[in-house]
């Protein structure tokens, strides 16, 4: 099964490279990496916190999350912990076969393990959450119960799913509310369970995150600590898993020392499918490699301070204005690129002109009514009503003129030119 998962991931990556992926301008953007030439990167840790010891336990019973926090502190590194609320309510259920994706539950996930739910998650692990916050790490939302938003038949065909926009919001708010009420901490990012985006009722994770005010926490480099070795001997398997975390990173940076600039590294704060924790040892080795090449490991929030975009950095003259505009308006595509050389469409212009909440609420209503709607639908509808656009100015067509109330007339209608011509901050 682990081989199937590996091949599935590689196949998905190859498919993305062959088939052009349609992208739209949205408020929520998938943050995988940012544009910078500085040797800074971020590390994310999914599925914790975990109060159980490492496996095998060679740290005197110390909780895995404490081991990770100790290691980060030793290197002066900051992590981004993509935590869950609790999986204690995910029953009745039974364990699947070790080495498969169902190892911790056939119907649901159970963290840190089935029958051990009380030793994982924010609800049960107050001390670990407080330690993360006290030591300056970032916490993001990996779901109240870590239940799939929608169906993923290839690997998780027997899993129960949330399946509706309302249930997804309820699940996210379980953890969001806990963090605000108990710790005074407001999360700003989320990663869906197992990266399942389609919810099943016309909505996606992007819609849910736009309602929550989140950015989509993704990753550009797989730290590999979640995948089990197929070796039968446990010690040999652990050694192979640690090498899988470190050797590719060493080779990558030997070939190009700047290869990880601005990247987000994926890790796991918990057992892998072989019920081992190579991250307990592999994290130290990865940090030693990064330190050797002069990297600083920061939170994703800090990485976004360097640049919130994947293709435009601080050296671009438009950077300060675009960064400010992105706080309230839909400026970038959902893959976090600005693509400033493209011609702007009427739909993209409408998203720039229409207030955020009006745009989102109208679009949500359209999806409930029709079952689907383009990301710019509500904004275009509003702009036509306000006579900022004409009905014949279709959302997908390129802009050929600009409302004088907002813009000086530019030389052309590329996205760069339109942003450059912007006269005043939109209300």
- Give, to the nearest 10 degrees, the angle between helix 205-212 and helix 165-183: 40
pTM of the model: 0.94
Backbone angles phi, psi at 352, to 5 degrees: -75, -35
| Chain-centroid distance, C-alpha 305 | 16
pLDDT in tens, the chain (427 residues): 444 444 445 545 444 444 456 899 999 999 999 999 999 999 999 999 999 999 999 999 999 999 999 999 999 999 999 999 999 999 999 999 999 999 999 999 999 999 999 999 999 999 999 999 999 999 999 999 999 999 999 889 999 999 999 999 999 999 999 999 999 999 999 999 999 999 999 999 999 999 999 999 999 999 998 889 989 999 999 999 999 999 999 999 999 999 999 999 999 999 999 999 999 999 999 999 999 999 999 999 999 999 999 999 999 999 999 999 999 999 999 999 999 999 999 999 999 999 999 999 999 999 999 999 999 999 999 999 999 999 989 999 999 888 777 777 777 899 999 998 876 544 4
**CATH (one of 3.40.228.10, 3.20.20.370, 3.40.50.1260, 3.40.50.300) for 28-304:** 3.20.20.370
pLDDT of residue 412: 86
Q: How far is CA 408 from CA 67, 143, 355, 395, 403, in A?
A: 57, 45, 21, 21, 8
Given a contact cutoff of 8 angstroms between Cβ atoms, the answer to whether 79 and 303 are in contact is no
pLDDT of residue 423: 60
> Pairing between strand 80-83 and 138-141?
parallel
Q: How many residues in total does the chain contain?
A: 427
pLDDT of residue 410: 75
pLDDT of residue 407: 75
Task: Give residue limits of the domains in the chain.
Answer: 28-304, 317-421
């Amino acid at each position: 099964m682990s081989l199937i998962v590996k091949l599935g991931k590689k196949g998905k990556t190859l498919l993305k490279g062959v088939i052009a992926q349609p992208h739209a301008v949205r408020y929520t953007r998938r943050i995988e990496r940012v544009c910078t030439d500085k040797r800074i990167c971020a590390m994310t840790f999914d599925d914790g916190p975990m109060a159980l010891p490492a496996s095998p336990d060679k740290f005197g019973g110390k909780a895995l999350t404490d081991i990770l926090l100790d290691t980060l502190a030793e290197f002066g590194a900051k992590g981004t912990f993509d935590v869950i609320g609790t999986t204690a309510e995910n029953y009745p259920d039974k364990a699947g076969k070790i080495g498969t994706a169902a190892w911790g539950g056939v119907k649901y996930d159970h963290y840190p393990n089935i029958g051990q739910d009380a030793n994982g998650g924010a609800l049960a692990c107050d001390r670990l959450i407080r330690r993360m916050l006290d030591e300056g790490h970032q916490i993001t939302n990996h779901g109240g119960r870590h239940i799939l938003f929608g169906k993923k038949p290839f690997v998780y065909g027997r899993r129960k799913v949330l399946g509706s926009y309302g249930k997804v919001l309820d699940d996210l708010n379980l953890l969001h509310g806990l963090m605000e009420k108990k710790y005074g901490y407001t999360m700003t990012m989320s990663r869906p369970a197992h990266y399942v985006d389609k919810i099943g009722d016309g909505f996606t994770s992007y819609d849910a995150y736009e309602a929550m005010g989140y950015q989509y926490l993704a990753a550009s480099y797989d730290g590999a600590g979640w995948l089990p070795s197929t070796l039968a001997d446990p010690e040999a398997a652990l050694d192979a898993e640690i090498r899988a975390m470190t050797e590719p990173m060493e080779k990558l940076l030997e070939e190009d020392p700047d290869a990880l600039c601005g990247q987000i590294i994926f890790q796991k704060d918990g057992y892998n499918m072989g019920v081992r924790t190579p991250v307990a040892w592999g994290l130290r080795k990865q940090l030693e490699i990064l330190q050797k090449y002069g990297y600083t490991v920061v939170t994703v929030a800090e990485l976004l301070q360097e640049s919130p975009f994947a293709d435009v950095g601080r050296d671009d003259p438009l950077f300060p204005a675009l960064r400010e505009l992105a706080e309230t308006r839909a400026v970038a595509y959902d893959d976090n690129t600005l693509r400033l050389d493209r011609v702007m469409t009427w739909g993209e212009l409408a998203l720039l002109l229409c207030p955020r909440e009006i745009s989102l609420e109208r679009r949500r209503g359209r999806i409930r009514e029709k079952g689907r709607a383009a990301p710019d639908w509500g904004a275009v509808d509003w702009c036509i009503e306000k006579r900022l656009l004409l009905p014949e100015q279709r959302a997908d067509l390129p802009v050929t003129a600009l409302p004088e109330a907002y813009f000086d007339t530019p030389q052309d209608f590329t996205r760069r030119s339109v942003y450059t011509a912007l006269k005043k901050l939109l209300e």
